[in-house]
Amino acid sequence: MSVSAILIAALVMSVLGLIFGALLGVTGRVFKVPTNEKVEALRACLPGANCGACGFPGCDGYAAAVGEGKAEVGACAVGGPACAAKMAEIMGVTVNESVRMVASVACQGYGDHCKPKGIYEGMTDCVAASMVNSGTKACSYACLGLGTCERACPFDAIHIDPIKQIAVVDEEKCQACKKCVAACPQHVLTMRPAGRKVEVDCHNPEKGIALKEKCDRACIGCEACVKACNFGAIEMENGVPKIDYEKCVGCMACADACPTGAMQADFESRKEAYIDPNKCVGCTLCTKQCKFDAIEGALKQPHKVLGACTGCGLCAEKCPKKAITMRDRRAPRNKLDKVKKAPAAPAAPKAPVAAKTPVNQ
Amino acid sequence: MNQILTILIGSIFVNNFAMSRFYGICPFLGVSKKLETAFGMGMAVTFVMAVASLVAYLVNAFLLIPLELEYLQTIAFILVIAVLVQIVEMVIKKMSPGLYQALGVYLPLITTNCAVLGVAQLNVTEGYNLILSVVNGVASALGYTLSICLFAGIRERLALNNMPKWMEGFTGAMITAGLMAVAFNGFSGLI
């Protein structure tokens, strides 16, 4: 091979390279997609999990939507308030405080509560199992515990409990991306605000005591919880109670009333009110506040909390002297230990009204 | 016409890129966990291979052969294909964001994939003309799409099954790929 051949080869390749380089440069200019600087800054704030919980196709999609003003900051559940604050700074807006949500498992069909129909030997996947004979358990709404949600979770936040064999959510890790909610063929998973101690752990819409044969923790639709709630926070929806967490104060009276245990509350964390006798001036504001008749005491006398206290904390909020603190319970709640109202008391103010009526006529 | 049919059947089934030539094995194993993404990858490969066959033929016929520089084929093809795919990516991004969303992720993955380079080289060694080159490019890519989609389908089912611990993940995938290659071997002798 002569020197000229080598030179020609080198020349051809260099020229080709140059032409292509120039071509790329020109196309880059001509076909430049105008990227919003804000969008790139916004994208940098986002965690990049591409989970889609915000309702947009991935973090890029959400950043673009916020940049164009089509979406609000703070929809990113994974990034949380820190991320929302950063994004708000870029966009020059203020954040609406959003409540952190977590997934929760609305089923307690484990162990002896809800027995299996038979021995299932198919694929270890809830979708497959749910297609056979409407699920493997006696209740056809039950958590099948084959881990479809566990595999769907990008944050390692939901696991099948090795003993209970049903799904359990790790509230700390849950980022509210709702992938498990979408993946569950039994629709067992729901979203609720994080840190709440009361939840409905059954979603079987059927009614009646016969349900208890399928699962002894089933909601039989008796509405005892609706009646027990003094805050109007529970309504029946599709045959099961639904808690309005904006109204719920966490008093757990509904769980006290539930005959089957479908309404679950973390009684361990239940508090009770304690009135400091040195600070209490006996103004009786708290006795009027208490929806459970759990505070007794006469005017100008130190008040006392009775066993019926649910630990809702209303009195502590209202006490003008800050004499009431919420402390760990010394004893479980006793519904019956409450103020005994004298039946004659309401009669006294009625008397003058009754006397007036004939005069007006 | 006869020749086109021969190339179609030959490239899709008999000399399947993934299953008998063993080209493009990296994305074959990497992007085959879900049927959806595998199909997206297949479509991107089809697009790139059609364009690559066309451009490689033009470069070879009008630049390398007249200048007697056939020995530069490999490097010239790499250069041309890489540049072309980059340009196409930019154009798609500007012109059709929807298509970019569907294909864009895979395009950089396959710019200089051996399957793409392989089809350009094959066209030259087989001496195909312009039309046959493009037909061969598309057919080979369709064969690749077929095998990667079949593979992804099998892997999706396997992932749901109780496998022995040592067979989970890539081990099982490799064995599956081997068995599929054996099965595709059954097409040999068809043409």
pLDDT of residue B112: 63
Q: Which residue of B has its CA nearest to A35?
A: B94
Contact check, Cβ <8 Å, B160/A123 = yes
pLDDT of residue A343: 55
Q: Does B99 touch chain A (CB under 8 A)?
A: no
Q: Does A1 touch chain B (CB under 8 A)?
A: no
Confidence of residue A319 (pLDDT cuts 50, 70, 90): confident
Is B121 in contact with B74 (CB distance < 8 Å)?
A: yes
Contact check, Cβ <8 Å, B90/A124 = no
Confidence of residue A330 (pLDDT cuts 50, 70, 90): confident
Report chain A residues whose CB lies below 8 A from the CB of B63. Answer: 12, 16
Q: Between residues 49 and 88 of chain B, which touch chain A (CB distance below 8 Å)?
A: 63, 67, 69, 71-72, 75-76, 79-80, 83, 86-87
pLDDT of residue B104: 65
Contact check, Cβ <8 Å, B83/A24 = yes
Nearest CA-CA partner of A311 in A277, A258, A269? A269
pLDDT: which is higher, B119 or A37? B119
pLDDT of residue A358: 46
Name the average pLDDT for chain A: 84
Tokens of B65: 């052969």
Report chain A residues whose CB lies below 8 A from the CB of B75. Answer: 13
Report chain B residues whose CB lies below 8 A from the CB of A61. Answer: none
Contact check, Cβ <8 Å, B72/A13 = yes
Report chain A residues whose CB lies below 8 A from the CB of B93. Answer: 31, 33
State how far residue B165 is from chain A, nearest Cα, in angstroms: 14
Q: Does A60 touch chain B (CB under 8 A)?
A: no
Checking if the pLDDT of A99 tops 80, the result is: no
pLDDT in tens, A255-304: 999 999 899 998 888 888 888 888 888 888 888 888 888 888 888 888 88
Report chain A residues whose CB lies below 8 A from the CB of B95. Answer: 31
Q: Which residue of B has its CA nearest to A33?
A: B94
Ranking A83-87, A106-110, A178-182, B95-99 by mean pLDDT, the lowest is B95-99
Confidence of residue A4 (pLDDT cuts 50, 70, 90): confident
Report chain A residues whose CB lies below 8 A from the CB of B81. Answer: none
Confidence of residue A357 (pLDDT cuts 50, 70, 90): very low
pLDDT of residue A96: 65
**pLDDT above 90 coverage of chain A, percent:** 21
- What number is the ipTM of this complex? 0.70
State how far residue B93 is from chain A, nearest Cα, in angstroms: 7
Contact check, Cβ <8 Å, A12/B69 = yes
Q: Are strands A189-193 and A101-105 parallel, antiparallel or unpaired?
A: antiparallel
Contact check, Cβ <8 Å, B83/A57 = no
pLDDT tens-place values along chain B, 191 residues long: 888 999 999 999 999 999 998 888 888 887 888 888 888 888 888 988 998 899 999 999 998 888 888 888 888 898 888 888 888 888 878 877 777 776 666 777 676 678 888 999 999 999 999 999 999 999 999 999 999 999 999 998 888 777 888 888 888 899 999 999 999 999 988 87
